[in-house]
Structure 1
Amino acid sequence: METLLNKAKRLRTNQTTAEQQLWRAIRAKRFENRKFYRQFIISPYVVDFVNRDLKLVVELDGGQHMDSQRQDIVRTKYLESKGYKVIRFWNNQILSEFEAVLLSLSLTLSQRERELKYLNLQTPR
């Protein structure tokens, strides 16, 4: 049975064209000076991309996800239970509407930052 670490390494090596395109734009703090990781383990899952500071997971879905929507819902609920926000884009959105995807990601990052600041203000000290 493949370990999560081996799976993450394999997925990094065999990225889809959409994953490669998004990774080029967000890696090394190139996007809004935010640090993203790719094929990151949040056990028992390997997520496509994550910004750990804002606990934001970015998932890219191809045609195979049409058949696994129930699994995606379970996965998303699990990640949300761990405090993560999950956003999803279709591969074809990355390839044909890239600027719109980046705008959506930018807005989500801003919203998530505000949410976390609000939650921190609500937490008793």
Structure 2
Amino acid sequence: MRRTIIPYKPYLKELAKKLRQNSTLAEILLWDVLKNKGVLGLDFDRQKPLDSYIVDFYCKELQLAIEIDGDSHDYTFEEDELRQQRLESLGVRLLRFTDEEVKQDMGNVLRTIEIWVEEKREQKKPL
């Protein structure tokens, strides 16, 4: 299976590095589970530049981005919608969780990710 490489704007590399160094608590908590292939053996990157954007977590194998919406997303619904549409047009699928969901109900967040992954894997199995 050939993976799609999504180019990104070079200036985003430095910004992504700064975001990794200043992660929110919810990002840290979820990263502690996702890193080292901690969810179904999947390899995730943190603060990954894609096109003109940076996603919180990204799995190349599934072209899956996971976003944690904290307070900074409260007033940017239209921007988030345009961003999501653009990434989806490139083949990226997004799962969104709130900051509170990650901090208070990690079990459900992980179940949601696992169910999504299993459904995608089932769709790719030959009949």
Normalised TM-score (structure 1): 0.88
How much does 1:67 deviate?
A: 0.2
Give the Cα–Cα distance (whole angstroms) in 2 for the partners of residues 114 and 46 of structure 1.
28
Give deviations 1:35-85, integer Å, cap 9, x for gaps: 000000102101100111000100000022120010010011011000111
How much does 1:30 deviate?
A: 1.4
Count of aligned positions: 117
Are 2:113 and 1:105 equivalent residues in the alignment? yes
Q: Secondary structure at the match of 2:91?
A: coil
Letter in 1 for 2:58: V
More helix by share: 1
Corresponding residue number in structure 1 for 2:99: 91
Give the Cα–Cα distance (whole angstroms) in 1 for the partners of residues 92 and 106 of structure 2.
24
State percent identity of aligned pairs. 31
Give the Cα–Cα distance (whole angstroms) in 1 for the partners of residues 103 and 38 of structure 2.
19
Give the Cα–Cα distance (whole angstroms) in 1 for the partners of residues 119 and 73 of structure 2.
26
8 Å Cα contact 1:56-1:112 kept in structure 2:
no
Letter in 2 for 1:68: T
Corresponding residue number in structure 2 for 1:36: 44
Runs of 4+ in 1 over 4 A off after TM superposition: none
- Where structure 2 has 5 or more consecutive residues not aligned to the other structure, the ranges are 1-9
Q: Secondary structure at the match of 2:114?
A: helix
- Where structure 1 has 5 or more consecutive residues not aligned to the other structure, the ranges are none
Are 2:65 and 1:57 equivalent residues in the alignment? yes
